[in-house]
Amino acid sequence: MRAFTVGLLLAIAAGLVSCDRAELLGSAEIRGMVVDIRGEPVPGVVVSISDPLTQCLTDGLGQYRLGTEPGRVELHFMKTGYTSGTMVIEDTGLGTVLARPLSLWCLPQTTGLFIFEDYKYRRTAPLKPRPYVESEDRVIYGVGKLTGIVETPAAEPLLLCYKMPSYDGKLCRLAMVEAASPETPTVKDTVWVFSESVPLAMAPVDEPDRLLWEVRLMGPLEPGIYAFHWGALDGYTSTDERIFVFAVAQASGESSIPPGAGAEPAPPAPTDDKAGAISNSSENAATPGKAVEEAPEEAPEGAPDEAPAATE
């Protein structure tokens, strides 16, 4: 009888071990971390798996953990004010899988072209060109006044377009000429017009929504005044009637903006290692998947947009 009891207990224990092992074999856990482009943890990010629907929030350290079935898993990351992201783990296997850290970009608070410096968005000046008459009745398009111009000390600034057309964008250098308004053809004034094109390439920062785009320069910019547009300086306004104007300061630190023009002074060049990590290429930061959250359409011109703090 004693031998039977001992055998029964051993059989029950073996069954429990077998059950636990089966449960372990049928599940996996993913652990990871979400950071911003500075490498700081981002709490409050919704991390989810579509099938079966499972989700959690990153904690104060930006860390998360999700249970799932072994196999291919697609994780989705979303937080208001940041690009959203997607990460695919081809095979979770069994037990715990440590995912690579995912980096999310903060988003500007309005649309337009921005210079991203020291982890802040500086909105370039949106101006509307108008027709002018140059010599021999040649019509040109330009702006008579430079207002709200931001200036950068960087020859290769990181330029980002948010919620703007990703096609037919042009970057050019502006020059001063003497031209007259069609209403007063005998009175000439100083006008800023197209001078020369600057080669560029457009690359999405977020996928698949593609709301945040990097304007990749093919080389350093000479000191001067520059404008990004979608045909407005050629007389075409169907895509966007504005140009976005900014300035590149002299190597000596002197401003390239003419005296009297309304401008925001250029910030000092970053000296710490963190700020210096940002360059003109988004390859220095992990690329997220897609952008979210409607931004207000307009903000006061010339006002910099602070990047949302990671600890909000």
CATH at residue 54: 2.60.40.1120
Q: Does 170 or 290 have the greater pLDDT score? A: 170
Predicted confidence at residue 45, as pLDDT, reads: 97
Assigned domain for 311 exists? no
User: What integer is the mean pLDDT of 246-253?
Assistant: 94
Whether residues 129 and 62 fall in one domain: no
CA distances from 26 to 14, 29, 58, 209 (A): 18, 11, 25, 35
Whether residues 13 and 40 fall in one domain: yes
Helix (H, G, I), strand (E, B) or coil at 305: strand
Residue 61 has pLDDT above 60, yes or no: yes
Residue 34 has pLDDT above 90, yes or no: yes
Residue 129 has pLDDT above 70, yes or no: yes
Whether residues 87 and 133 fall in one domain: no
What percent of the chain shows pLDDT beyond 90?
A: 60
Residue 215 has pLDDT above 70, yes or no: yes
Assigned domain for 312 exists? no
Residue 110 backbone class (left: φ over 0; alpha: ψ -120 to 50; beta: rest): beta
User: What integer is the mean pLDDT of 148-155?
Assistant: 95
CA distances from 179 to 91, 104, 141, 256 (A): 66, 47, 10, 21
Q: What is d(CA 143, CA 122) in angstroms, rounded to the nearest whole number?
A: 21
Residue 306: which of 13, 40, 110, 66 has the closest Cα? 110
Element (DSSP H or E) covering residue 141? strand 139-143
> 32-36, 66-70, 75-79, 298-302 — which is least confidently predicted?
298-302
Boundary of a domain, candidates 104, 136, 152:
104
User: What integer is the mean pLDDT of 145-166?
Assistant: 95
